[in-house]
A and B are shown apart, each in its own frame.
Chain A
C-alpha cells in the first residue's frame, strides 16, 4: 500500500460525458502528478500540482483539467469524453529528499468510454 488513494477504481461512461477522478496523496506529500496509461503503453505525464498550484504540464488535452485543493487532494476532470480517452489514470504523490524525488503511485482509476 503506497498510501495514495484514488477513487473510483472503475468508471464506465459514454462519449461526450464528463467525469471527475479523485486522488488523495500520502500524508505530508505536497506534490501530486497525474498520468494516463493506455493499453500496453507507458505512462504519459499529464500535469503536476504542488501545494495547490500548477507546477508542470505535460501532454494534457484542453478537454482535461485538474486542481489541487487546500487539503492537498486533487481532482482530474475529463470532459467531452472520446473513445480514445479509455485508459488507466494514475496519480502519484512525491516526497523530495535532496536530489531524490520519489513518486508513490495510487492504484489507478480504470476509465472505459463506450
Chain B
C-alpha cells in the first residue's frame, strides 16, 4: 500500500486542454513536493509546499496543499506537449521521504 496515492495513474489529453492531478494520503506531512520526470532521467523538483492551504503558481502550473496537509493537487492550464512526463508527489517528514507512484501525462499535439 502506497502512503501517497496519486490519481489518475495515466492521463492522455490534447494540447491546449486543462488538467488536474491529485496526491492523497491519510498521513500529515510537514512538506510536500511535486516532481516531473522524463523517461530515463531523474525527477526534477517543480515546487515545495509547506503551509496548509498554500497555493503556489509556476507559470501554467498551480499547486495546492490541502488545509490538513494530507493532500495536494497540481493543475495545468493549456497543456503543451512539453508537459509530457511522469508527475510524482513526495511527502516529507522527519528523515523520511515517501513518493507516490505518479501520474503519467501524455499531451498530444
Q: Which residues in A have some Cβ–Cβ distance to B below 8 Å? A: 2, 4, 33, 35, 40-45, 48, 50, 55-56, 88, 90, 92, 98-108, 110
Contact present for B31 and A45 (CB under 8 Å): no
Most chain A CB neighbours (cut-off 10 Å) among B33, B42, B45, B92 = B42
Contact present for A100 and B50 (CB under 8 Å): yes
- Classify the secondary structure of B's interface with A: strand
For the complex of A and B, 9 pairs with smallest distance between CB atoms: A105-B42, A42-B101, A43-B99, A56-B95, A101-B92, A100-B48, A99-B30, A55-B95, A105-B43
Contact present for A102 and B95 (CB under 8 Å): no
How far is it, in angstroms, between the C-alpha of A59 and the C-alpha of B90 when the chains are bound? Answer: 16
Contact of A42 among B48, B97, B99 (CB under 8 A): B99
Contact present for B99 and A101 (CB under 8 Å): no
How far is it, in angstroms, between the C-alpha of A105 and the C-alpha of B38 when the chains are bound? Answer: 12
Q: Which residues on the B side are within 8 Å of A50 (C-beta)?
A: 95
Contact present for B2 and A108 (CB under 8 Å): no
Beyond A42-B2, A48-B95, whether A104 also contacts B45 by CB under 8 A is yes
Measured between C-beta atoms, what is the minimum distance from A23 to chain B in Å? 11
Contact of B40 among A35, A103, A108 (CB under 8 A): A108
